[in-house]
Amino acid sequence: MRTLTNDYRDCKIIKIDPADPTSPYGVLQEGCDPNDPTYRMRMFYLQRDGQWIDEIARSARPDSEGGDVLFESSAEALELLATLRGKPVVRDLPVSEADVKNYLARVGSGSSPQELLRQFLARYRAAKGGKPSHIEKPRLAAPMPGNSSERSSKRVLEPIDRVSEVLFGLIMVLTFTGSLSVAEAGRDDVRTMLIGALGCNLAWGIIDGVLYLMGCLAEKGRGLLTFRAVRKTTDQNKRTAS
C-alpha cells in the first residue's frame, strides 16, 4: 500500500488515444489519499491546476470539464510535475452512491481501460463542439490553507515526525534509567547514566539531522531530473516536428 505523491516517477503519463496524432495526454497515479483515514487505494488524475482528483469523482463531473485532466503533450505534464512540492493536494468533491454505481457500471461494461479513456475523450470533444485539440487552460488554483504544497515544502517536520522524534528520545532515556538500580545506585552511577543518556540522544540527533539533509538533497535532485526529462522530451518533439 502506497501513498499518493507528487513524484513524477510514481506517475504514469499516457496518451489518451494512441491511434490519434492529436490526442492529448493524461497523468495517472494509484495510491492512498494522505488525508484519508481509511487508506483506501484509488486511481487519481492530475489536474492542470496541480491538484489531484479521484477517478470516481472525475467520472461524476460534467464532460465539458474533461480538459481539467488533459495535457497537450507529455512535456507539458512533466513541466507541471516539476513545480509540485510537498504533500499532494487532493480535490475534495462529494461523491454519492449513485455516482459510485454509475462508475462501476461503466468500468464493468467489458471495455478495456484504453477504450474507456477513448470514450472519455470522445465525450469531452463532443461537449466542446468536436474540437480535436483544443484544451482549456484554467488558472492555477489558489493555495489551500493548511494543506497547500507550498506550506508543506516550508515546514521543517510534519506533526507525526515531531511526535515520533520525542518518543524515540524518551525511549532511549528510559533504556538507560531502567537499567539503574534505585536502591544501590550512587552519585557516580547516576552521573554516568545521565551522561550516557544525553550522549545517546545527541548522537541520534546528529544522525537524524544528516539523514534529513540527505532527504532534502534527494528532493532537489528529483527536481533536476524532472527538468532534464522535460528538456529532453521538448527537444525530441522539436526534432519530430522539423
| Region of 102 on the Ramachandran plot (φ > 0 left; ψ -120 to 50 alpha; else beta) | alpha
Grid coordinates of 222:
528529483
| Region of 120 on the Ramachandran plot (φ > 0 left; ψ -120 to 50 alpha; else beta) | alpha
Q: Taking a C-beta distance cutoff of 8 angstroms, is the pair 33, 4 a contact? A: yes
Q: Taking a C-beta distance cutoff of 8 angstroms, is the pair 24, 72 a contact? A: yes
Which residue from 2, 15, 4 is spatially nearest to 55, judged by alpha carbons?
4
Count CB-CB contacts under 10 A for residue 235. Answer: 11
What span, in angstroms and rounded, lies between the C-alpha atoms of 226 and 81? Answer: 8
Give the mean model confidence (pLDDT) for residues 63-92. Answer: 88
Percent of the chain with pLDDT over 70: 76
Question: Which strand (E) or helix (H) includes residue 8?
Answer: none
Amino acid at 6: N
pLDDT tens sequence across 191-234: 887 888 888 888 888 888 888 888 778 777 766 676 666 666 65
Q: Taking a C-beta distance cutoff of 8 angstroms, is the pair 219, 153 a contact? A: no
pLDDT tens sequence across 87-114: 899 988 888 888 888 888 888 776 788 8
Give the mean model confidence (pLDDT) for residues 62-72. Answer: 90
Which residue from 28, 67, 32, 34 is spatially nearest to 48, judged by alpha carbons?
67
* Residue 197 CB-half CA count within 13 A: 19
* pTM, entire model: 0.58
What residue spans define the domains of the chain? 8-145, 156-242
What span, in angstroms and rounded, lies between the C-alpha atoms of 42 and 55? Answer: 7
Q: Which 3 state secondary structure label does DSSP give 5?
A: coil
Q: What is the DSSP string of 62-129?
A: -GGGGGGG-BSSHHHHHHHHHH--SSPPBP-----HHHHHHHHHHHTTS--HHHHHHHHHHHHHHHTT
pLDDT tens sequence across 11-52: 999 999 988 888 999 999 998 888 888 888 889 999 999 999
